[in-house]
Protein backbone atom coordinates (compact mmCIF):
# COMPACT_ATOMS: atom_id res chain seq x y z
CA UNK A 1 0.00 0.00 0.00
CA UNK A 2 1.08 3.56 -0.63
CA UNK A 3 0.06 6.74 1.11
CA UNK A 4 0.00 10.35 0.06
CA UNK A 5 0.27 12.10 3.44
CA UNK A 6 -0.80 12.09 7.03
CA UNK A 7 -1.77 14.87 9.40
CA UNK A 8 -0.77 14.74 13.04
CA UNK A 9 -3.02 17.54 14.28
CA UNK A 10 -6.37 17.12 12.54
CA UNK A 11 -9.69 18.39 13.90
CA UNK A 12 -11.62 18.12 10.61
CA UNK A 13 -11.74 14.37 9.89
CA UNK A 14 -13.68 13.03 12.87
CA UNK A 15 -14.38 13.92 16.47
CA UNK A 16 -11.61 15.34 18.63
CA UNK A 17 -7.90 15.63 17.86
CA UNK A 18 -6.88 13.03 15.31
CA UNK A 19 -4.09 11.59 13.24
CA UNK A 20 -5.36 11.22 9.66
CA UNK A 21 -3.80 9.00 7.00
CA UNK A 22 -4.57 9.50 3.30
CA UNK A 23 -3.85 6.34 1.32
CA UNK A 24 -3.51 6.20 -2.45
CA UNK A 25 -5.68 4.18 -4.75
CA UNK A 26 -9.35 4.56 -5.62
CA UNK A 27 -11.36 3.04 -8.47
CA UNK A 28 -14.62 4.90 -7.80
CA UNK A 29 -13.46 7.95 -9.82
CA UNK A 30 -16.18 10.21 -8.44
CA UNK A 31 -16.55 13.38 -10.55
CA UNK A 32 -15.52 16.42 -8.52
CA UNK A 33 -13.47 14.43 -6.02
CA UNK A 34 -11.03 16.70 -4.22
CA UNK A 35 -8.44 13.90 -3.97
CA UNK A 36 -8.31 12.88 -7.63
CA UNK A 37 -4.53 13.23 -7.54
CA UNK A 38 -4.28 10.12 -5.35
CA UNK A 39 -6.56 7.74 -7.29
CA UNK A 40 -3.54 5.88 -8.69
CA UNK A 41 -2.53 3.35 -6.03
CA UNK A 42 1.07 3.42 -7.24
CA UNK A 43 1.40 7.14 -6.50
CA UNK A 44 2.66 8.38 -3.18
CA UNK A 45 5.15 6.71 -0.87
CA UNK A 46 5.31 3.13 0.41
CA UNK A 47 3.55 2.56 3.72
CA UNK A 48 6.43 0.79 5.43
CA UNK A 49 6.62 -0.75 8.90
CA UNK A 50 8.58 2.33 9.98
CA UNK A 51 5.88 4.70 8.72
CA UNK A 52 3.20 2.61 10.43
CA UNK A 53 5.11 2.67 13.73
CA UNK A 54 5.66 6.44 13.52
CA UNK A 55 1.96 6.95 12.78
CA UNK A 56 0.95 4.81 15.76
CA UNK A 57 3.30 6.74 18.04
CA UNK A 58 1.75 10.01 16.88
CA UNK A 59 -1.66 8.70 18.04
CA UNK A 60 -0.53 8.51 21.67
CA UNK A 61 -1.74 12.00 22.60
CA UNK A 62 -4.73 12.09 20.22
CA UNK A 63 -8.36 11.01 20.40
CA UNK A 64 -8.17 8.65 17.47
CA UNK A 65 -7.08 7.65 13.99
CA UNK A 66 -8.85 8.62 10.75
CA UNK A 67 -8.33 6.73 7.48
CA UNK A 68 -9.15 8.35 4.15
CA UNK A 69 -7.82 8.52 0.66
CA UNK A 70 -8.07 7.42 -2.11
CA UNK A 71 -9.97 4.56 -0.54
CA UNK A 72 -8.66 2.59 2.44
CA UNK A 73 -10.98 -0.28 1.46
CA UNK A 74 -9.62 -0.63 -2.07
CA UNK A 75 -8.88 -4.38 -2.15
CA UNK A 76 -5.14 -3.76 -2.61
CA UNK A 77 -5.13 -1.55 0.52
CA UNK A 78 -7.10 -3.87 2.79
CA UNK A 79 -4.26 -6.00 4.22
CA UNK A 80 -2.18 -3.00 5.32
CA UNK A 81 -5.24 -1.13 6.64
CA UNK A 82 -6.41 -4.22 8.55
CA UNK A 83 -2.98 -4.57 10.16
CA UNK A 84 -2.85 -0.87 11.04
CA UNK A 85 -6.31 -1.02 12.61
CA UNK A 86 -5.47 -4.19 14.56
CA UNK A 87 -2.25 -2.72 15.95
CA UNK A 88 -3.94 0.60 16.76
CA UNK A 89 -6.68 -1.15 18.77
CA UNK A 90 -4.10 -3.30 20.59
CA UNK A 91 -2.14 -0.22 21.57
CA UNK A 92 -5.09 2.14 22.15
CA UNK A 93 -8.21 0.10 23.00
CA UNK A 94 -10.09 3.18 24.25
CA UNK A 95 -9.48 5.32 21.16
CA UNK A 96 -11.52 5.23 17.98
CA UNK A 97 -10.93 4.68 14.28
CA UNK A 98 -12.92 6.53 11.62
CA UNK A 99 -12.75 5.30 8.01
CA UNK A 100 -14.03 6.89 4.77
CA UNK A 101 -14.83 4.67 1.80
CA UNK A 102 -16.66 4.92 -1.50
CA UNK A 103 -18.09 1.45 -0.95
CA UNK A 104 -21.47 1.06 0.69
CA UNK A 105 -21.51 -0.59 4.10
CA UNK A 106 -23.61 -3.40 2.63
CA UNK A 107 -20.77 -4.15 0.17
CA UNK A 108 -18.05 -4.37 2.82
CA UNK A 109 -19.86 -5.40 6.02
CA UNK A 110 -18.36 -8.89 5.73
CA UNK A 111 -14.79 -7.59 6.13
CA UNK A 112 -13.33 -8.82 9.39
CA UNK A 113 -11.20 -5.69 9.66
CA UNK A 114 -14.32 -3.59 10.30
CA UNK A 115 -14.40 -5.06 13.83
CA UNK A 116 -11.68 -2.54 14.64
CA UNK A 117 -13.36 0.43 12.93
CA UNK A 118 -15.70 2.50 15.10
CA UNK A 119 -17.17 4.91 12.54
CA UNK A 120 -17.59 4.29 8.82
CA UNK A 121 -18.51 7.03 6.37
CA UNK A 122 -19.69 5.20 3.27
CA UNK A 123 -20.76 5.94 -0.27
CA UNK A 124 -19.33 7.60 -3.31
CA UNK A 125 -18.98 11.35 -3.42
CA UNK A 126 -21.80 12.86 -5.49
CA UNK A 127 -21.05 16.47 -6.38
CA UNK A 128 -24.70 17.16 -7.24
CA UNK A 129 -25.75 16.27 -3.67
CA UNK A 130 -24.11 18.90 -1.45
CA UNK A 131 -24.47 18.45 2.27
CA UNK A 132 -24.25 20.36 5.51
CA UNK A 133 -23.80 17.15 7.51
CA UNK A 134 -20.49 16.99 9.36
CA UNK A 135 -17.70 14.73 8.10
CA UNK A 136 -19.39 13.96 4.78
CA UNK A 137 -18.70 15.28 1.30
CA UNK A 138 -22.16 14.69 -0.16
CA UNK A 139 -25.65 14.13 1.19
CA UNK A 140 -25.84 10.46 0.15
CA UNK A 141 -22.96 9.49 2.42
CA UNK A 142 -23.82 7.87 5.74
CA UNK A 143 -22.05 8.07 9.07
CA UNK A 144 -22.40 4.59 10.57
CA UNK A 145 -21.35 3.87 14.15
CA UNK A 146 -20.32 0.27 13.71
CA UNK A 147 -20.68 -0.83 17.33
CA UNK A 148 -24.44 -0.96 16.73
CA UNK A 149 -23.89 -3.36 13.80
CA UNK A 150 -21.76 -5.91 15.66
- What distance lies between CA 41 and its chain's CA centroid? 15
pLDDT level of residue 36 (50, 70, 90 thresholds):
confident
User: What domains does the chain contain, in order, with CATH numbers?
Assistant: 2-149 (3.20.20.70)
Give the model confidence (pLDDT) of 17-34 as tens digits.
999 999 999 999 999 998
Cα 132 to Cα 4: distance, rounded to the nearest angstrom: 27
Name the DSSP letter for residue 83. H
User: Mapping DSSP to helix (H, G, I), strand (E, B) and coil, where does residue 3 land?
Assistant: strand
Give the model confidence (pLDDT) of 110-140 as tens digits.
999 999 999 999 999 999 999 999 999 999 9
Q: Where are the alpha helices (DSSP H) in 9-75?
A: 49-58
pTM here is 0.96
Give the model confidence (pLDDT) of 38-57 as tens digits.
999 999 999 999 999 999 99
Task: Please classify residue 28 by burial: count the beta carbons closer than 10 Å to its beta carbon, then call 0-12 exposed, 13-18 middle and 19+ buried.
Answer: middle
Amino acid sequence: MNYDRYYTCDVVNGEGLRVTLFVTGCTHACPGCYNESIWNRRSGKPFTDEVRQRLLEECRDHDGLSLSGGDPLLPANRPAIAELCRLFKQQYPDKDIWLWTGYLFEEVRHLEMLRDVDVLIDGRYLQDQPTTQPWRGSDNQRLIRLASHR
